[in-house]
Chain A
Amino acid sequence: MSGDTSELDAYLRAQEKKDLLRLITCGSVDDGKSTLIGRLLYEGKMLLDDQLDSLKAESARVGTQAGDLDLALLVDGLAAEREQGITIDVAYRFFATDKRKFIVADTPGHEQYTRNMATGASTADLAIILADAHRSSELLTQTRRHSYICSMLGIRHIVLAVNKMDLVQYDQAVFEAYVARYMAFAKELGLTQVECIPISALRGDNVISPSRHMSWYRGPALLPYLETVEFGRESSMRPLRMPVQWVNRPNADFRGFAGTIASGTVRTSDRIKVLPSGQEATISRIVTQDGDLEAAVDSQAVTLVLDREIDVSRGDVVCAAGSPVSIADQFAVRILWMAPEALLPGRTYLMKAGTVTTQATVTALKHKISINTLEHIAAKTLRLNEIGLCNISLDRPIAFEPYAESRDLGSFILIDRITNQTIGMGLIDFALRRASNIHWQNLEVSRSARAAQKNQKAAVIWFTGLSGSGKSTIASALEKRLYSLGRHTYVLDGDNVRHGLNRDLGFTDADRIENIRRVAEVARLMVDAGLLVIVSFISPFRSEREAARNLMGEGEFLEVFVDAPLDVCEARDPKGLYKKARRQQLMNFTGIGSAYEAPEHPDAHLDTARLSVEEAVDKVLNLLEAKGLTSA
């Protein structure tokens, strides 16, 4: 037993020393990704008896290999995937050899699941791109798309595995012709480290050991290559960056900043600078439950204690004092769009970057990228799975590094503020310096002074509702009543804005968003000027009304839902627009060709099918009174 124990001990020590290679497999549908992973697990003796038994049973039931083991069933984990025989979502698989541990992300081949492929790629050190030798006369769109995404996400090591060599009689010429075609494309992408291996995942050629059928191939088989490839993580050589994740204050005597080191090394008595505030301090302790450390390196999760009280909170970045990161609020970025609803310039999204979450607006969509030709194509929106170059503007400056220098500080996701879905992933290419050129003039006459001079409080009363619901009528009656009460008011509606300021805008979703953005900005300036502003616009989208609300101060925005059923509005049809829309002479008309998103919690709800104009105005006046807006 003692011999056994020391042998085991040696084995365990060897296990501890192993490093971890994270890789993805990608390629078009039917290129054999799941089969390849199944083959690695099977040949590598990574499958246990009960897993093999259940694989045999499932192969007989739903397998595609005529009763033989269907290795793809090992990885397709969802019922829908096994039934349809396709991979929908990323599956993570784990295996270890004597040399290394591996986490494999098996990613889907279908174009509609590209966002799942990109998710798998974002954490990978290496990508295996599978291609089908049998369909090798050209590069498939998915092969190009996946290669592009791998290069964009900074994966340095690519293995081009030309699969199904058994179907082309292991012909060297087929392999070499395909490799030449692929390498030309890889060169354009700037992918330099590409290892090309001819394999058959189904038959096991060149997967674990060299194939007997391809003696012309002199390179390594796939698994030996994965076990030995040098993959660098040079981030420990770079200056210290640690995004603050959580402030640890168990009692009055302890204040530590918890986070994971993104790059570099931190030592006690190091001088550090906290961004964006720019304050400096010295590290007094590096705290862990296993005792204080003298030093910690990148990827370690630690808690830092500083020698003095400075203001540090979640989202700040602790940097080496001598080489801090930059801060900015406008960036040139690349975005991969992940939602069925298109990206719309002008709309405000939430952006999570590192440990900071801000509001972000796409200010310009410069172009999208054609996967096939890598050409830049002019675009007004980005659709699901499209990649575009954009400028974005945040509501405050953040500490960052370009993605090329730091995956942790240069990556972000975009979140829809209403549905909370993750709708895009992006990387920061560089900061736009324009932000620092616009300084708000600090005027001596303040907004509250202007309102006080008029003996009132300023606010926006925002009417939203379908065309014909009664917005303009009520807005105009409301203004008369306020005027008679001595209030200073102004009404913004389609007639006075669409004909002038917004003359250049049409009725596409993107133009509607820009329309509302401009109206909201004008309303804000008028509130600054001390006015009660009545906005009367269909404003069909929740998201833009929410953005307008966020422009104003607390309590300065009241949303009034002017509500009438579509058939009532259509019967009224004061401008004859519904008739035109029904005759298809008017496209994108709200309620007919374009959606209206009703407010979920309006400050006032006016049911104009029941209320008279005067009753509706009274209801709004009651609201204003309750909010203290009608009195001085």
Chain B
Amino acid sequence: MDLKMDLEERLRAETWGKPSSVNDLPQRVPPDRQTPFPNFASHKNLQKREDQDPSISNYGMRIEPSFSEFNRPSECQPPLPSNPISQDRGVQMNDILQLGKTQEWDPKAMLNNLSFLEQKIHQLQELVHAIVGRRGPVLGRPDELVAQQQQLITADLTSIIIQLISTAGSLLPSVKNSLSSASTPPIRQLGQLGGILNNSGSGIGLDSNLVLPSQGGSKVPDQSNQVDPMDQSAIDNLEDHESKDDEDGDEGENLPPGSFEILQLEKEEILAPHTHFCTICGKGFKRDANLRMHMRGHGDEYKTPAALAKPHKEAGSEMMLIKRYSCPYAGCKRNKDHKKFQPLKTILCVKNHYKRTHCDKSYTCSRCNSKKFSVIADLKTHEKHCGKDKWLCSCGTTFSRKDKLFGHITLFQGHTPAIPFDENKGGLSLQGEHNEDTNKVGNVSFSFGSSTPSSGGVQNIMEDVKGNVDDPSSFFSPLSFEASNFGGFNEFTRSAFDDSEGAFSFLLQASCNYPQKNGGQSSSNNLE
């Protein structure tokens, strides 16, 4: 554990060096946020950007409208206290200040902290009051809500205690190191809670705007099934976290092993052609690297190696939260409300899944003119193999290589090679082999092309027809059709797999790896 703690410290130190970078990973952080304390600076930028392009709302981390959005659902959940946002933000700033200046004790910051704690306790009081006052009405409501409220209170209390400890800790310069390690869990916890907000799927997660606000608090009880009780409590704390999230959101996770944070992008975001936008001119890019290249044109400060470097590279691969994504399409298995919800691993997965499953297939293969795709990469993959995947098994499986087909047939009893469809279609020589039609045509032309009347030929043809009628379907491999369907399915799975190696993979993987470890550790810290 000591080792872990040490590591923790180091990591935290790094994180503090670039607080925002970690948090913004899933949102594909614009370069301007790489400055040591970007939060304040980036506010304006972000807001500006938000104004320019509403579709990139996921960058609007601390934007007023989003708060109101958040507050709306909270109103329909009476137990949730609505706190003055400005206050929260102030606290947040203080928090950051405090974190940033651990080395020298700042009495003002301390004062701020204390007043924050005071407010926090007041809020808690109000909440408990409200609960007591609403006992009656609440009785009619599901028990979950009560439990949830209790959890919220617990979470709030926890955060207050943590805050208290960290504040006290800052008074002791000699125990700075241990302090910082001690203060880590709370911070992470906060961040985690922020992350969980997204998770909860209610309108709360506006920090990243990844969640559909409309889904509201009514959904909360559902989530309680999936989400750790601790996370649920975070709903109460959201005022704090909505802002904190930004930097700490990914830092810590209190989820038991195997659980994860669920993010949900909106349809518009999923379908947006560009995901990286220049903060200066607003131009959109598909890749962050392209944006960075573009940024060079905006001034020398963007030409520094640091600005041009791949962001978050140094963030390390160990300290990230597991993120999983939910499809916004209600009723979809990839939607978090589905009973057998299967999360999507990366944003690219989300995009491809959404396009493949819930969008029109607008790209048609120019070779076969029959296969359609909604993801252009799928089309390209298909076109590479279109017409080449000619090795079919009777079970409908297609193979690009003959030896693979034969290996398959060797392995499975009763499977047999299927005759390629085009052979059935004909194009056969003189005596047309399989295709009855060409065959008969061939015969007819013989018979009538000749100088003598050959009724025998005609008769043959007629009998041919009869013979064929007996067994019309058997000449064609009945499975070749299925096979083509299957091919589609194959392609789907294959592309889904490819996604992990897609253009964004470096970002996404990094973002996945980082929280994973960190989360695990923080949880163990908390347990201790």
Is B one of A's binding partners?
A: no
Chain A residues with a Cβ under 8 A of chain B? none
